[in-house]
Amino acid sequence: MKGNKKKPNADVEITGLVIEKTFGEGSKSQHLGIFLETIAGDSLKLRRMGGNPFNDPELKKLLGKTVVVCGVAQTGLFIAKSIKPTK
C-alpha cells in the first residue's frame, strides 16, 4: 500500500518589514512574536528554519528593517531559509 505523500511547499521570495507584535492575543499562547509585514499588506509570523520559534536573537536584530526572505510560506507563517536586509 502506497502512503499518501504530500508535495513539499515550493520556496518563495517575499520582501517586507520585520516587526514585533502580539501573537495569539487573549489566548494561553499569547506572546510577542516577530512578523513580516509584506508590501501587499499581509502579516506573516516569521521564523528562521532551525531557529527558536519563541526567542530568536537573529530575527530580533532585524526589527525595523526591510528584508528579502526566501523560504516556505504557510497560512499566517513564513519559515525562512535565508534572510537578506535590503539596502
Domains detected in the chain: 12-85 (2.40.50)
| pLDDT tens-digit series, residues 25-75 | 788 777 788 999 998 999 999 999 999 888 899 999 999 999 999 999 988
Could you give the CA distance from residue 71 to residue 75 in angstroms, rounded to a whole number? 13
Could you give the CA distance from residue 42 to residue 36 in angstroms, rounded to a whole number? 8
pTM exceeds cut of 0.85: no
HSE-CB at 2 with a 13 A cutoff on CA atoms is 3
| pLDDT tens-digit series, residues 59-73 | 999 999 999 999 999
